[in-house]
Amino acid sequence: MKKTFVIISVLAVALVTGCKKEDTTPSTTNNNTTTDPSGIPSVYKKIYGATDMYIDGDYVVIKVNSLPDHKSPYYLGTTWASEKYEAYNGTNGSFNLNPNRIAQSNLTFRIPKNPKVAGNHAATPGGPIGVSLNGVPLFNQYAAMQAPLTNEINSFDQYNGHPQQQGQYHYHIEPTYLTANKGKDALIGFLLDGFPVYGPIENGKTITNADLDVYHGHTTATADYPDGIYHYHFTTENPYLNGDGFYGTAGTVTQ
């Protein structure tokens, strides 16, 4: 009888162990954010324009096709024209449609999961320096050859974006489609160094350049990071999004 009892006990333990459910409870990470069982910080799930997202070591990998989910005059003559073309209806009386048209541009961003201030602050490159919630790349405050945006701004569509020569659509300044739909104080995306980007309002106040450091950011609590984090803001004045380079150590972007 003792042997029978031992066998039954072992079987019972095995059944309990085998039927134990996988733990899907989110865990806490830096800055009081959470991660899901995949290890992706939950805040990154707000990037609804990602075609794929996963963790690779210390990086969040985000794949996008760069196509804006809003209408634009730059969809004219493209595969998506019947659904996405819309003539310019913004407020810039000097608007000038550039000759480029939107094309799909598949990008892979590798962004530090736990961003840290850099010892040496690298300048932002030409091309993508970050990604917005709808998967559209963020560019810095310069046109080609580091020229000011003074003239190029006149080619921005009603949502403040435009395509470059290869058709890659992007934002240099506040993406008004996102701030209109998410809020002017909302998370807008992330730069390559892993620090978040917010709209032009914080705690009911319109942020100006005077409120920010030379990298165009500051450290305060946000809705997504209640314990506080360094973050960038869009403003209405140059440099609009980023100043003297990345605050943190940047990851990479490839096409």
Residue linked to tokens 């962004």: 111
Residue 7 lies in a domain: no
Section 229-235 average pLDDT: 98
pLDDT-derived band at 236 (thresholds 50, 70, 90) equals: very high
Alpha carbons within 13 A on the beta-carbon side of 16: 6
In a domain, 49, yes or no: yes
* pLDDT band (50, 70, 90) for residue 145: confident
pTM above 0.75, yes or no: yes
How many domains, in total, are found in the chain?
Answer: 1
Average pLDDT over the chain, rounded to an integer: 89
Write out the residue range of the structural domain in which residue 38 sits: 26-254
Is 21 inside any structural domain?
no
Helices of type H across the chain: 2-18, 81-84, 176-182
- Please check whether residue 10 lies inside any domain of the structure: no
Pairing outcome for strands 196-198 and 137-138: unpaired
Assess if residue 135 is contained within a domain.
yes
Task: Using the structure block, give the residue that is written with the tokens 């804006």.
Answer: 68
For residue 33, what pLDDT is reported?
58
> Distance of CA 59 to CAs 56, 193, 221, Å?
5, 10, 23
Position 18 in a domain = no
pLDDT above 60 (res 136): yes
Residue 130 has pLDDT above 70, yes or no: yes
Is 88 among the domain residues?
yes
pLDDT for 38 equals 76
Q: How far is CA 121 from CA 161, 189, 243, 250, in A?
A: 27, 20, 11, 9
Whether 111 contacts 60, CB under 8 Å = yes
Query: Does 26 have pLDDT greater than 90?
Result: no
In a domain, 87, yes or no: yes
Q: Beta strand 205-206 with 217-220: parallel, antiparallel or unpaired?
A: unpaired
CA 159 to CA 181: how far, in whole Å?
12
Q: Which amino acid is at 208?
A: T
Instruction: State what percent of residues in the chain have pLDDT above 90.
Output: 84
What is the structure's pLDDT at 29? 42
Whether residue 250 has pLDDT greater than 60: yes
The average pLDDT across 159-180 equals 98
